[in-house]
């Protein structure tokens, strides 16, 4: 019994320490992005970007209404690709994926994408969104011995988030996805962080590795708290 109690105490201590450490990392990430007060004042973000995929250039624009909706529109070789995620579901138009008209996202795909409706990413205020964060030690991402966080959203979809211990900014995320009808791991790397006019810091260079191909995104412009009509997220009939 004495051995059992000692072991139990040790396990509880480790669990508590990890929880505290994970929250400490999240708090430092929040500060690095501009602080809780500034992040709490962000209601929307609109960005315009250029994107390179397989040697082809395209333009892209993204609109996020905090907690309500995410919409990305990409003009690729004269074809319009649209992806929308809301707090209730999602839809997409992708002529290259055999969907020339708006099609509802499958449930599992929606669950993996639903955190895109948060303007500052899943870590900030994660508990209020029904999420959970656990520390899984450290792991090398390039030359950085990054903190490895396991993030689980309210619908039990998991992703791995890597945080730079020097800047406290997210440098990479890994989550499950789908390409050409096949399950894949989507690795997104973030760099070239800059402070916007609104006082929050955001990445201006994003690389999305989908195993079969990669997207290189260069953000040209970011507007914070631009008025957004919620109807832009509605699925066309």
Q: What is the mean pLDDT of the chain?
A: 89
Measure the CA–CA gap between 153 and 32, rounded to whole angstroms. Answer: 22
Say if CB 190 and CB 29 are below 8 A apart: no
pLDDT at 2 over 60: no
pLDDT at 219 over 50: yes
pLDDT at 6 over 50: no
Global pTM reads 0.87
pLDDT at 212 over 50: yes
Which candidate, 201, 207, 136, places its Cα nearest to that of 173? 207
For 125-177, how does the pLDDT look when each residue is reduced to its tens digit (9 = 90+)?
999 999 999 999 999 999 999 999 999 999 999 999 999 999 999 999 999 87
For tokens 């499958």, the residue is 106
pLDDT in the model for residue 141: 97
The confidence band for 195, taking pLDDT boundaries of 50, 70 and 90, is very high
Mean pLDDT of 14-24: 60
Measure the CA–CA gap between 9 and 108, rounded to whole angstroms. Answer: 38
**What are the residues whose beta carbons fall under 8 Å from the beta carbon of 76, sequence distance 6 or more?**
53, 56, 58, 96
For 167-194, how does the pLDDT look when each residue is reduced to its tens digit (9 = 90+)?
999 999 999 876 666 778 899 999 999 9
Measure the CA–CA gap between 213 and 156, rounded to whole angstroms. Answer: 27
pLDDT in the model for residue 159: 96
């Amino acid at each position: 019994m004495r051995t059992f109690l000692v072991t139990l105490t040790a396990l509880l201590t480790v669990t508590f320490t990890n929880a505290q450490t994970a929250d400490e990392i999240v708090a430092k990430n929040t500060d690095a992005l501009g602080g809780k007060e500034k992040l709490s004042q962000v209601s929307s973000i609109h960005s315009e970007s250029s994107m390179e995929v397989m040697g082809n250039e395209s333009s892209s624009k993204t609109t996020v209404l905090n907690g309500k909706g995410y919409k990305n529109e990409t003009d690729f070789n004269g074809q319009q690709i649209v992806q929308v995620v809301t707090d209730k579901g999602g839809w997409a138009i992708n002529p290259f994926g055999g969907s020339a008209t708006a099609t509802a996202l499958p449930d599992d795909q929606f669950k993996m994408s639903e955190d895109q409706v948060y303007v500052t990413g899943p870590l900030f205020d994660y508990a209020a969104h029904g999420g959970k964060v656990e520390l899984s030690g450290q792991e090398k991402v390039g030359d950085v011995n990054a903190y490895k966080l396991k993030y689980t959203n309210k619908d039990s979809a998991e992703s791995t988030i890597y945080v730079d211990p020097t800047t406290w900014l997210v440098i990479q995320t890994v989550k499950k996805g789908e390409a050409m009808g096949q399950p894949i791991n989507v690795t997104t790397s973030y760099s070239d962080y800059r402070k916007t006019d609104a006082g929050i810091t955001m990445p201006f260079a994003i690389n999305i590795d989908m195993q079969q191909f990669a997207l290189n995104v260069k953000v040209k412009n970011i507007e914070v708290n631009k008025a957004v009509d919620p109807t832009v997220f509605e699925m066309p009939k």
